[in-house]
Amino acid sequence: MPTIFIFFGFRFMFYSDDHEPIHVHVLKDGHEAKYNIENIKLVYNHGFKKHELKLVESIIEENIEVISERWNNYFQK
């Protein structure tokens, strides 16, 4: 489970056998959310509150290039 980065305790990562489209899993305190990074679309949320999701979305928006680069490097795209 490659970690891309950790901000404010949120772990942004993907699974080593993940699939396209490019997306990121966010983990914290036993909760998990998944976002497709194109248009920053929430795929699912298991336990995060609205204000936490807004923070996560802003972090993704500010780091979308880093996420894409790490994904492409890992999966050799």
Domain locations along the chain: 3-74
Per DSSP, helices labelled H in 1-77 are 50-62, 64-74
Q: How would you write the pLDDT of the chain (77 residues) with one tens digit per residue?
A: 899 999 999 999 999 999 999 999 999 999 999 999 999 999 999 999 999 999 999 999 999 999 999 999 999 87
The CA-based angle 5-6-8, given to 5 degrees, is 150
